[in-house]
A and B are shown apart, each in its own frame.
Chain A
Amino acid sequence: MNWTWFHKLGSPKWFYEISGRWLPWLSISAALLILVGAVMGLAFAPPDYQQGNSFRIIYIHVPAAFLAQSTYISLAIAGIVGLVWKMKIADVAVQQAAPIGAWMTVIALLTGAVWGKPTWGAWWVWDARLTAMLILLFLYFGIIALGHAITNRDSAAKACAILAIVGVVNIPIIKYSVDWWNTLHQPATFTITEKPAMPMEMWLPLLIMTIGFYCFFAAVLLMRMRIEVLRRESRTRWAQAEVARQIGRSA
């Protein structure tokens, strides 16, 4: 297998160039997909036979929850890449992805709470999924706080990577224990997102929204990483030239 692309990806300059080319496409597809998905979900999907129209919240809640979890896993993967192959871009990715993941968790929690009101009659229910989401938010807070507390940026990236790896090992254990805890204390309540087979008009918007959210994540992550790369590489000639070009354009 040819690994040159992998090492090239580690070069900040190459990353900056290629990400600049991808960014417009990602942004456009994110905006389109989310718009189409939202319209389809809000207006065209049939109402749920049990929950009526409140089930339409699923089209944000589930993609956000999905993204929140996979972002955490990608933090750990980027962390491993950064620790093992000493790739600087991975270090940048760990710290820039964490806040986005935390925001996604917030969306999932808020929409879950709002959804809970018509479904369970309470804003917050200690449901296994919501509780696991809440713990995920705490895990994100830990990573963000650690990254901010360590002033040396290389140490900060490595420390966050280790914490993310420890956290990722913990996630399945947390999930299992929270599920068990739930059955121990309030056996067999029905969970909001567990559905019998959905008709196509119902799951298609969900699929579109999920892909849209992933594109959104990628676009925002690239935006954040590009700034950080410019900042970190401010001593190199290409970064200085790029900053000068940008200043000239905005002036």
Chain B
Amino acid sequence: MSNVFTLLLVRETRLMFRRPAELVNPLVFFSIVIALFPLAVGPESQLLQTISPGLLWVAALLAVLLSLDGLFRSDFEDGSLEQWVVSPHPLVVMVLAKVLAHWLYCGLALVMLSPLLALMLGLPTQHIPTLLLSLLLGTPVLSLLGAVGAALTVGLKRGGILLALLILPLYIPVLILGSGVIQAALQGLPTTGYLLWMASLTMLTLTLAPFAIAAGLRISVAE
């Protein structure tokens, strides 16, 4: 069982690194969206600093969302999903490996890039750890919840916009908590409590979402 988990993780890693362009795309998108805002609202450093937490979070969220459409699509089209569903191994475990791979190569990569962009927006250096922590706790939720939507829409021809419609409302709590934590830090308020809230949200999603993803995949495969 755990064997299948690691094997799938290895397989996903191989696939990712044989298409390095797709690995970079969300990161480039993330940077471009961030760069758009100073261009749109003006380079005033005070304003940029105030909106930087929200900006970073919205951009990260959109970058994850964009990468999610392809999460199960190729596996659906080439018949891999059918093989997973009929195999004797639990689908939940495979789903978990798949989402973990997505998070490692999309979510975690975004987290690593975020300090650079935060500094460009003028977020004070002492708040970078809070930013990192909030993204680190929040991006797994983005991957997991997004995978539920991706699983439900994988069989549809134009699933992309629908996926956004399904998932974005569900992203609201993590967006509020994630950017709110950084804003609280900027206002000099304590953040530990909210980070703990985020951690419990992540744990809750981690325990429940895989079952919803697996059920969604079964439905999409049966379609």
Whether B215 pairs with A162 at a CB distance below 8 angstroms is yes
Whether B223 pairs with A155 at a CB distance below 8 angstroms is yes
Complex partner residue of B212 from A150, A166, A178, CB under 8 angstroms: A166
Query: A167 to chain B: which residues have CB within 8 Å?
Result: 169-170
Contact A177:B166 (CB < 8 A) given known A155-B219, A159-B152: no
Any chain A CB within 8 A of the CB of B139?
no
- 13 A-B pairs within 8 Å (CB atoms) are namely A135-B172, A145-B165, A146-B162, A146-B166, A155-B222, A158-B215, A158-B219, A162-B212, A173-B173, A176-B173, A177-B173, A177-B180, A181-B180
Given contacts A155-B223, A158-B219, 6 further A-B contacts (CB under 8 A): A139-B170, A146-B152, A150-B223, A165-B212, A169-B208, A184-B184
Complex partner residue of B166 from A155, A163, A180, A184, CB under 8 angstroms: A163
Any chain A CB within 8 A of the CB of B148?
yes
Contact A145:B148 (CB < 8 A) given known A177-B172, A184-B183: no
Interface string of A137-152 (1 = CB under 8 A from B): 0110110011001101
- Least CB distance from B73 to A in Å reads 15
Complex partner residue of A135 from B153, B169, B204, CB under 8 angstroms: B169
- Least CB distance from A187 to B in Å reads 11
Any chain B CB within 8 A of the CB of A170?
yes
Any chain B CB within 8 A of the CB of A230?
no
Interface string of B53-94 (1 = CB under 8 A from A): 000000000000000000000000000000000000000000
Alpha-carbon distance A139/B173, docked complex (angstroms): 13
Whether B201 pairs with A173 at a CB distance below 8 angstroms is yes
Whether B153 pairs with A146 at a CB distance below 8 angstroms is yes
Q: Describe B's contact surface by its main secondary structure.
A: helix
Any chain A CB within 8 A of the CB of B196?
no
Any chain B CB within 8 A of the CB of A174?
yes
Contact A166:B219 (CB < 8 A) given known A146-B152, A149-B156: no
Whether A162 pairs with B148 at a CB distance below 8 angstroms is yes
Query: A181 to chain B: which residues have CB within 8 Å?
Result: 176, 180
- Least CB distance from A168 to B in Å reads 11
Query: A170 to chain B: which residues have CB within 8 Å?
Result: 170, 173
Alpha-carbon distance A130/B215, docked complex (angstroms): 33
Alpha-carbon distance A162/B212, docked complex (angstroms): 7
Residue from B145, B156, B176, B204 having most chain A Cβ neighbours under 10 A? B176
B164: nearest chain-A partner, CB-CB: A142
Q: Tell me the residues in window 158-199 of chain A with beta carbons closer than 8 Å to chain B beta carbons.
A: 158-159, 162-163, 165-167, 169-170, 173-174, 176-178, 180-181, 184
